[in-house]
Homo-oligomer: A and B are copies of this chain.
Amino acid sequence: MPEVKSGRWFIEFYSPYEAHMHGVRKYLVTEETNFQFAEILITQEYGKTLILDGRTQSTEVDEFIYHEALVQPAMISHPSPQQVLIIGGAEGATLREVLRHRTVKEAVMVDIDHKVVELCKKYLPEWHHGAFDDSRVKVFYLDGRKYLSESPQLFDVIIMDITEPVEHGPSYLLYTREFYQIVRDHLTENGIIAVQAGSTSMRFLYLHSVIYRTLTTVFPVVKTFQAFVPSFDLPWGFALACKNEKLDPGRLTEKEVERRLQERGVAGLRFYDGCLHNGLFKLPKNLREALTQQLDIIEDDKPVFAVV
């Protein structure tokens, strides 16, 4: 039996009846920004941890799982990603993953919260590895939807690395059908959007499946997959949607994935490779059924919020 000591805990309630407790070693940052409540702390088991509005975003020990899962399947599914847009992505780790591909000529990151990005730059070098200093990078501190609506630029890959949709929060209008239409109009012909799509654990499937369903109203090909993120104590869902109906991330062979990784000089991955990609879209039966049975759609005037 573990010997539990008096002390500091971060308790994350997922519902009135479910919570996870993380023992905390040290608190580094507690800051109210213009948009959210930001904390950086060091937990006993996961090291440095970024928390926004009370929800764990990523941790030193396992952020590689979340960020590789969010970025690599989308980047690899595109034949040659050159212009990439990240909406959100404060930690800089999504940027880091994008920049691994030497096809990339420009990576634009648009995050609404300047302060949080500053904190991540300063406190989370283990995440960004200096990515912000790469000459291919441009960072804007703006609302992602406003930026995209007004931008004349087209992108090969657009990555939605944003917080969950929460009432009065900064991101719930980045999950709607209307927003995805704006995305579609800013993708190149073979363009792909990658979306963090909520937990795939049973009790959260509504949000995950309604994001899926909403994407299907705008894109001809939509695929979802999941990766277990230890510090969340939850499997997390991701969605890929393609403008070109002939592209299907699920059809790439293990070999082709490995070929593209090598060709583009992608090195240092710890979670993702051809073998994983090959099984990624083979979801459990109950999860596939939840997706196909979902009929609701998220719209600007019918937003959907994470359960808590």
Give chain B residues whose Cβ lies under 8 Å from the Cβ of A280.
279, 282
Is the pair B30, A4 in contact by a Cβ cutoff of 8 Å?
no
Q: A11-B7, A285-B270 are in contact. Are A20 and B17 (CB under 8 A)?
A: no
Give the interface size bracket for A toward B. 35 or more
A152 an interface residue at 8 Å Cβ cutoff? no
Q: Which of the residues B1, B200, B203 comes within 8 Å of A3, measured between beta carbons?
A: B1
Q: A10-B7, A10-B8 are in contact. Are A43 and B17 (CB under 8 A)?
A: yes
Is the pair A23, B30 in contact by a Cβ cutoff of 8 Å?
no
A170 an interface residue at 8 Å Cβ cutoff? no
**Count of identical protomers in the assembly:** 4
A139 an interface residue at 8 Å Cβ cutoff? no
Is the pair B45, A15 in contact by a Cβ cutoff of 8 Å?
yes
Give chain B residues whose Cβ lies under 8 Å from the Cβ of A276.
282-285
A27 an interface residue at 8 Å Cβ cutoff? yes
A252 an interface residue at 8 Å Cβ cutoff? no
A interface residue numbers (CB < 8 A to B): 1-27, 30, 39, 43-45, 54-55, 61-62, 65, 200-203, 226-228, 230, 233-235, 269-273, 275-286, 288, 308
Q: Could you list 29 examples of A-B contacts with CB < 8 Å?
A: A1-B3, A2-B17, A3-B3, A4-B4, A5-B13, A6-B10, A6-B11, A6-B19, A8-B10, A8-B27, A9-B10, A15-B44, A17-B43, A17-B44, A18-B22, A18-B44, A26-B27, A61-B202, A201-B228, A226-B228, A233-B234, A270-B285, A271-B285, A275-B282, A275-B288, A276-B283, A279-B279, A279-B282, A282-B282
Ranked 4 nearest A-B pairs via Cβ: A279-B282, A17-B23, A279-B279, A27-B27
